[in-house]
Amino acid sequence: MMNENWRGIFAIVVTPFTDELVLDEGALRRQVEFCIQAGATGLVGPANAGEFATMSDEERQRWIRIVVEEADGRVPVVAATTHGHKVPAAALSQFAQDVGADGIMAMPPHILHPDADGCFEYFRTLNDALRIPICIQNFMGPIGTPMSSDLLARMCRELEWVQYLKEETLPEPRAISRTLAAAGDDCRGVFGGQGGIYMIDEWRRGACGNMPASQSVDLHTKIWGMLEENDESGARELFNRLLPLINFERMHGVAVYKQVFLRRGIFSSTASRIPGAFLDSQDLQEFEAIWQDIAPLLEE
């Protein structure tokens, strides 16, 4: 799959935990199958929506191995390997490559927040360690280290394996336009993020796809498919039906992703390692109201 351009909806796989906060491998496998059957053209993680910052390297390795194994070559698997320093980031990236990942995605060190030269050196280290495509995730603080379009373009131009970008700085659609203009043919594609909330504008500006969390990936893939068929009005109509859930997700994040998966029978727990990642009784009341409108649209 290395020579095929990545395009479409690459689902950020959510990390399921048991009530005891242990990785739920069965739910992870079910989620991978759900994403593929729902039309995702790629799988990514464990990234921000996958709670990577709460996981040990051993858990991240096991997660990557399971997702690669379960995907079984049907869609590209992009391992998220952001780390606190270039040395462990390169080691985790090499592990992902060795077990069959089709690419890696990484942010600059999420604690040290290096300057532009430090970011370039970090990705040069990953580039030199790998022979699979790298997708640079340009994310906002506090966990991200926003980088300029010129820096991103330089890395695409000078580092052989830096081939894709995920743009999540605001305003995101304009950032995608700037980066596409700066990088030109040196970049194989720029993905949007932020849960797909700007995906129609991004598509119009030339984005190659979007990387939303995976709980509603069947709807994201339908919207993207309509856009690719130039049915923007149909895409917008479905997007507007999904928008209340996206807005709720933007407020509560992982807690909503897991609540959706619980309702869809893919997760058996909404447990999260992120402090405060839960829905209280009134949140659940609002979720139920939104769910009543969304549920008829979802694939069973």
pLDDT tens-digit readout, 58-111:
999 999 999 999 999 999 999 999 999 999 999 999 999 999 999 999 999 999
Q: Count CA atoms within 13 Å of residue 279 on its CB side.
A: 23
**Length of the chain as a residue count:** 300
Instruction: Give the bridge partners for 120, in sequence order.
Output: none
Residue pair 14/32 in contact by the 8 Å Cβ criterion: no
pLDDT at 1: 56
Q: What is the distance between the alpha carbons of residues 282 and 280, in angstroms, rounded to a whole number?
A: 6
Q: Quick one: CA dihedral 113, 76, 13, 167, positive or negative? A: positive
Nearest partner of 122 among 96, 95, 147, judged by Cα: 147
Q: What is the distance between the alpha carbons of residues 246 and 252, in angstroms, rounded to a whole number?
A: 10
Q: What are phi and psi of 155, to 5 degrees?
A: -70, -40
pLDDT at 299: 60
Question: To which H or E segment does residue 6 belong?
Answer: none
Give the chain's residues under pLDDT 70: 1-3, 299-300
Ramachandran quadrant class, 21 (left: phi over 0; alpha: psi -120 to 50; beta: rest): left
59-92 burial, b at 16+ Cβ within 10 Å, e below that, comes to bbbebbbbbbebbeeebbbbbbbbbeebeebbeb
Q: What are phi and psi of 151, to 5 degrees?
A: -65, -45
Residue pair 91/60 in contact by the 8 Å Cβ criterion: no
pLDDT at 141: 86
Q: What SS3 class is residue 151?
A: helix
